[in-house]
């Protein structure tokens, strides 16, 4: 199909892919009454209805997936002594560096940290470099040891 041709889906003047993106965007924004939106009124009615039915069946699965990803770090917190998290808050780090350090102490890999914080592996490495420099260590093992020592009152 040529770029300027309309898709065979209904009467909208927007291409099919654009219509789907509008619907997904409205869904992600939490617009439960997407049909009343000026933007969605420009989407083909049949496509809107098919999308609405699809999402009605998928909504629970999507919600469960998001909740499970966001709670993954909390599940791992069982492995970490309670005082560690509180102690990390006292170190002079940025908010994001503290989040990264907490996940390192919990045993998360760079890739796991990146997924949980919705950042790239490279950004995790940058945060770790800054953390190591600020607390005076050279690798994640030393960082974990330093955090535990500081929690026990043995650290510098």
| Phi, psi (degrees; rounded to nearest 5) at 72 | -60, -45
Same domain, 41 and 102: no
| Phi, psi (degrees; rounded to nearest 5) at 13 | -85, -5
pLDDT per position as a tens digit, 3-17? 444 444 445 566 777
Residue 134 has pLDDT above 60, yes or no: yes
Global pTM value: 0.47
Contacts of 48 (CB under 8 A, 6+ apart): 23, 34, 35, 40
Same domain, 67 and 31: yes
Within 9-81, residue ranges assigned H as helices are 16-28, 45-76
**Which residue segment(s) compose the domain that 45 sits in?**
16-71
| Phi, psi (degrees; rounded to nearest 5) at 136 | 75, 40
pLDDT per position as a tens digit, 31-61? 655 445 565 667 777 877 777 777 776 655 5
Domain boundary among 38, 71, 104: 71
Same domain, 98 and 131: yes
Same domain, 104 and 42: no
């Amino acid at each position: 199909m040529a770029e300027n041709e309309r898709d065979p889906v209904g009467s909208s003047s927007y291409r099919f892919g654009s219509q789907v993106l509008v619907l997904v965007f409205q869904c992600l924004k939490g617009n439960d009454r997407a049909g009343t939106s000026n933007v969605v009124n420009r989407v083909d009615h049949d496509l809107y209805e098919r999308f609405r039915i699809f999402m009605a069946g998928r909504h629970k699965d999507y919600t469960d997936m998001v909740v499970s990803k966001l709670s993954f770090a909390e599940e791992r917190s069982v492995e970490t002594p309670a005082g560690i998290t509180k102690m990390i808050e006292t170190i002079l780090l940025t908010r994001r560096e503290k989040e990264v350090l907490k996940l390192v102490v919990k045993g998360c890999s760079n890739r796991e940290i990146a997924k949980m914080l919705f950042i790239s592996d490279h950004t995790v490495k940058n945060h770790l470099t800054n953390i190591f420099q600020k607390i005076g260590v050279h690798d994640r093992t030393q960082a974990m040891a330093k955090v535990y020592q500081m929690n026990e009152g043995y650290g510098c």
